[in-house]
Chains A and B, each alone.
Chain A
């Protein structure tokens, strides 16, 4: 009875809708083009004018081109994000406006084809003009001697992923909602509330389980899984592509089932209402619950939490119900998921509070431990993308002798000394965890360390501690980081520990910014700023010295790998090196504007060179840093004579 429409016909119809959309968006596209063109022209004019007044015109023009490229692309990026919102809300209003429903609903085109055509037109109308501008900006910049830099290319990619993910998610919500207002409210509510809820959950886990390793990094997709605005940052591209595909597939599936008459009604499908009615009351309930828990309301943190949670979550749920449903009809029926969520939350928090599994105070018995390890992250100079969790996992196999195992257990005991795990303290710690930039700082390792055990039954036990967790202490004093550090002296000075966690073993030669070699007797401390006061050899990693830097780094890494240092080995030199880290490589537009040089700062690492490090010593001699007596070669091309306080040079 029903004739099938061929793919070719569908494609033809979809293309007709796309052309139609283009015509209807002509005005906004013109406004977009004018704004982008005017701003680009302003940026170009200012950059050129400033550069032409400089003395070194050639370099100044190239620098101006770089600034023009970045500033213009950044503006076009922002402008595109704003216009994407405008396009998208208008694009899907054909589902919500009754008169549009009459028009589009009677057209001889399938509902799925129409939905897909609308979605694709929104993608193209958002992305294509932006890419055209990016292309033009890059071309102008290229003509001025500055090819597109990595940051610009990254912006291109972010611009492809961000709008596509946002449009797809909004499209799905629009299919579910009966009005544009509900779609927009749902989109904002989900995008804002989900990351907050995810962070709260994460904070609760980290606060209630003292020593829980940071399994998730701050950029994990789980923190923003339902917040496609995060896709503009370019993280987790694969996840966002998958997210887009799922949203489009769901949208297409629901497009056929959707009843046109739901236009200007509350919902066609109640998915967004359920999501928002779960997440928002959860957040409000958690905030009030944790507040009451940390205030020890009713003299019991858990009772305070339960009371606060319900006091916050129930009214929030009722208000959201009124916003979405306009009346109290089906309040009870539609709130079943909310009720389940509330009961589960209170039960889970209660379970966590009681610490029935004894997670917080658990230290394995020495006899049950097969091997163990400890890592102080201050010692790990270059992590090379390796996470704290993977360090923790790997270090469980470091030591299997009972002496070292005992030392690890001692570090673990020191970590738990003077700590209390009352529910109140746990609730207070949720604030610390949530308010602090902890997701990053935990993985940032400073004042952090982990102990890890491989038990005889094969199970691995890992605990991660940080100086940040001060709230567990009874007297709220800061954790004494040096206590566990001191307990692990033997481990930290062991060859195994040095080989595994020495920065030298991990730095790629092209990441090195400069290397400063000083004699053991005059070794400079952590900072490489003080080298001006001692005699040293300085290798700036540029085109001329790159080969020598590479040779020296290869030798250092070979010696680190072989690790022949013995107790009687003689220290002959110290190498301080500064290198670019993943963080310093990460582009920050604001940082770029405020301080260009800051991009080059990176991090530092110190390597002691012993006479047993034959490869390193050999390389240092070969490149003319050391003489045959293993002293600094004053005639070497990298030799730098120390300056006195008054600026005059001193002899070595």
Chain B
């Protein structure tokens, strides 16, 4: 169990994480999404003990994490740009982790080396970005962490490896109750993997929900009229987040459940109405728009 209590981290005048509090259950996969500079990577660095919180605390299985080797031994952090020495290979880097991580599994390491198509004796810095990422994942999973933190892990991975990674992660989550926190802008991938999503903007968690309930929060609705009613406030009483009109056809993003807004729409006598759930990306854009972070505002 990870408990985050009133966590704050500032860099000079910038507050990267602002009074954040939540818990992450064992055996869950949490997605961290949000704007650039929203505090996702900083949160991961705080969770892995790289940064010391300015205030608040992170408690891992009952132990304060920062500068605590015993608690850090249960965690593994794969940053967005992992560092490798010039002569580092998977094999010689494994020798370091083998000594330092108490749960290191040699069987797991051998198995992962055989699964991922990368050489464990080749110099890592000569590998492509995707292969370097795979090297990092082999090492990370071999430490059998109870808490795995992945920053932009899907970057550079081809679709097959992405699928393989997801499979491996799900396997470990279900079998060993491993907790995974993934920060990514690739919402499509997160959608498949996460059971919970935290949306971060300017250091705050705007939203922290199970992915199913998150999807249920919004509906994408298409409404067509034979003759559009002349009314300046056509959809009054309906929580329309976004609307786009093409002749007599309206594409709406509505916050709320279908049973709540459908009667109001049907009352307008539409020729056609259909509602479907939003993708995570669409939810992200809708939510961020609510905080003034949308394309129109930026442009």
Contacts and interface: CB of A to CB of B under 8 A. Distances in A.
Contact of B81 (A2, A3, A99): A99
A475 interface: no
A321 B79 CA distance: 34
B104 to A, nearest CB: 11
Nearest to B61: A3
B62 interface: yes
B100 A106 contact: no
A103 interface: yes
A105 B69 contact: no
B45 interface: yes
Of B62, B76, B86, B100, most A-chain CB atoms within 10 Å: B100
A109 B86 contact: no
Nearest to B9: A261
B99 interface: yes
Contacts, number: 96
A202 B100 CA distance: 52
Contacts of B92: 23
B240 interface: no
A3 B256 CA distance: 47
Main secondary structure of the interface of A (DSSP, over half): helix
A441 to B, nearest CB: 51
Interface stretch (A9-17, A245-253, A455-463): A9-17
B48 A105 contact: yes
Contacts of B73: 108
A2 B63 CA distance: 5
B83 A19 contact: no
A3 B50 contact: no
Contacts of B99: 12-13, 15-16, 19
A102 B45 contact: yes
B182 to A, nearest CB: 16
A651 interface: no
A89 B71 CA distance: 31
Contacts of B83: 97, 99-100, 102-103
Interface residues of A, number: 34
B51 interface: yes
B109 interface: no
B87 interface: yes
B82 interface: yes
A455 B233 CA distance: 108
Interface string B38-56: 0000000100111110000
B64 interface: yes
B207 interface: no
Nearest to A97: B83
Contact of A13 (B49, B69, B87): B69
Contact of B79 (A17, A99, A113): A99
Contacts of A113: 69
A260 interface: yes
A259 interface: yes
A16 B50 contact: no
Contact of B100 (A3, A101, A108, A259): A108
Interface in A1-46: 1-3, 5, 9, 12-13, 15-17, 19-20, 23-24, 26-27
Interface in A185-238: none
Interface in A376-390: none
Nearest to A16: B99
A28 to B, nearest CB: 11
B68 interface: yes
B11 interface: yes
A121 to B, nearest CB: 13
Interface of B: 11, 45, 48-52, 59, 62-64, 67-73, 75-77, 79, 81-83, 85-88, 92, 95-96, 99-102
Given A19-B95, A106-B72, 7 more contacts: A2-B63, A19-B96, A23-B95, A99-B82, A102-B45, A103-B83, A106-B77
- 5 smallest A-B Cβ distances: which pairs? A105-B50, A16-B99, A99-B83, A108-B73, A108-B72
25 contacts: A1-B59, A2-B71, A12-B99, A16-B96, A23-B87, A23-B95, A27-B86, A27-B87, A99-B79, A99-B82, A99-B83, A102-B45, A102-B77, A102-B79, A102-B81, A103-B79, A105-B45, A105-B51, A106-B49, A106-B75, A106-B77, A108-B73, A108-B101, A109-B72, A260-B50
